[in-house]
Amino acid sequence: MITVLVDGCLDPLHEGHIAYLEAAKALGDRLVVNTVTDEEIWQKRPAIGPFLPRASRLAVLRGLRAVDEVVTMDTLEALRTVKPNFYVKGKDWEGRLPAAETQLCRELGIEIRYLDTVKNSSTQLLKNFIAQVNEHHG
């Protein structure tokens, strides 16, 4: 069985993520999605935070046909626990994946694949939404 691991915020989930998850699933038999904690999203987006709380993100992701399992853990822990054949990230991560992730994948024999399917940024979508709300309410 070929296992694929996708890792990220996925908040809010949008059509680019769906294409990304479906393309990742096509690489193997089992797709495991690791979504980060709310605290990690606050660190990444301190002015916005999570759009959906962790429990909601998990429920939405579990409802997608391409997704076989959803977990929430540190990325390195997910790589060690899931032991995927493929670790999939968006093309925007190519050349900037944390060294610890690259090294652990090398040690565990995990192939890293970068997919160019996500055309939207969740953070930018949220910023645009906030700007629209602020403009509407003047």
Ordered by start, the domain boundaries in the chain are 3-137
Q: Out of 5-9, 14-18, 97-101, pick the least confident.
A: 14-18
pLDDT in tens, 34-83: 998 899 889 988 887 888 899 999 999 999 999 999 999 989 999 999 99
- What's the mean pLDDT in 7-17? 86
86 contacts 2 by C-beta, under 8 angstroms: yes
Q: Which of these CATH numbers, 3.40.50.620, 3.40.50.12780, 3.90.1150.10, 3.20.20.210, describes 3-137? A: 3.40.50.620
Token pair belonging to 16: 């680019």
Asked if the model's pLDDT at residue 127 lies above 70, the reply is no
22 contacts 66 by C-beta, under 8 angstroms: yes
CA atoms within 13 A on the CB side of 120: 17
Q: How far apart are CA 75 and CA 40, in angstroms?
A: 11
Classify each residue of 47-78 as buried b or exposed e, where b means 16 or more C-beta atoms within 10 Å of its C-beta: ebebbbebeebbebbeebebbbebbbbebeeb
Q: How far apart are CA 75 and CA 119, in angstroms?
A: 23
pLDDT the model gives residue 104? 98
Rg of the chain on CA atoms, in Å: 15
Q: Map tokens 């096509």 to a residue.
A: 26
